[in-house]
Structure formats: C-alpha cells, structure tokens
C-alpha cells in the first residue's frame, strides 16, 4: 500500500523529469546525440544485459568527433570500437587495448655537460 502511495505521489513529477532531461540535452556538448541517447534508453528500457547493450549500440548514432577535445583520439577510439564490434568481456577489453594507438615515449633528456 505504501508503495502505491509513493508511486501516486511521484506522478506529478514525471513531466518535470522528462522536461529536465530535455533541458540537459540542450546544454550538452552534442545535443543531438544526447537526445538520441535519451530515446535509446527509453526504447531499450525493457531489455537487460547483453540484449540491452546491443539495443543501445544499435540505437545510437556515431559520435561526432569534430566536437571532441581531441578529434584524432576520438576517431581512433571509434575505429577501435568498430574493429572490436561483436566481442565482449575480456576479449573486448583486449581488442580495445590492442587497437588504441600507442603514445610515443618522450625522449630522455641528457644531463647538462659540466
């Protein structure tokens, strides 16, 4: 009974919550992707586990790397994600690690000659 009362009490807040999610997307770095994510979450809400993950992946548009802080790194991550598509668990983690570009080591500075 208490649960029912709590649910009824929360009903007036639902439209406000939906509006605040839309407002959050308006302030997002990539508003279109944010709105697509909100729609994907709603579409995939009934699914669980691997099915939910696959549903979200299928529903989301690709990332717009032109708006990223580091477009080259973003593009490399997208390429790695595409290459590793279909893998999961440790296999996915290893694939993503192997596909990421390596940082070039900084050259060692020799001590000043005295």
4-51 pLDDT, tens digit each: 444 445 545 444 444 455 578 888 878 888 999 999 999 999 999 888
Residue 22 confidence (pLDDT): 57
Distance CA 73, CA 96 (A): 13
- Greater confidence (73 vs 102) lies with 73
Distance of CA 69 to the CA centre of its chain: 15
Distance CA 114, CA 111 (A): 9
60-82 pLDDT, tens digit each: 887 888 878 899 999 999 899 88
pTM (two decimals): 0.54
Neighbouring C-alpha atoms within 13 Å toward the C-beta of 12: 2
Can you give 19-43 as a three-state secondary structure string?
HHHHHHHHCCCCHHHHHHHHHHHHH
82-91 pLDDT, tens digit each: 899 888 889 9
- Greater confidence (7 vs 52) lies with 52
Q: How confident is the model at residue 3 (pLDDT cuts 50, 70, 90)?
A: very low
């Amino acid at each position: 009974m208490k649960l029912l009362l709590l649910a009824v009490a929360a009903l007036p807040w639902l439209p406000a919550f939906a509006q605040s999610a839309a407002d959050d997307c308006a302030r997002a770095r990539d508003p279109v992707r944010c709105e697509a994510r909100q729609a994907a979450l709603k579409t995939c809400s009934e699914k669980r586990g691997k099915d939910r993950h696959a549903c979200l992946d299928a529903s989301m548009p690709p990332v717009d790397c032109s708006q990223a802080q580091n477009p080259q790194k973003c593009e490399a991550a997208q390429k790695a994600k595409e290459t590793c598509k279909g893998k999961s668990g440790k296999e996915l983690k290893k694939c993503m690690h192997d596909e990421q570009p390596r940082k070039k080591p900084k050259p060692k500075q020799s001590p000043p000659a005295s």
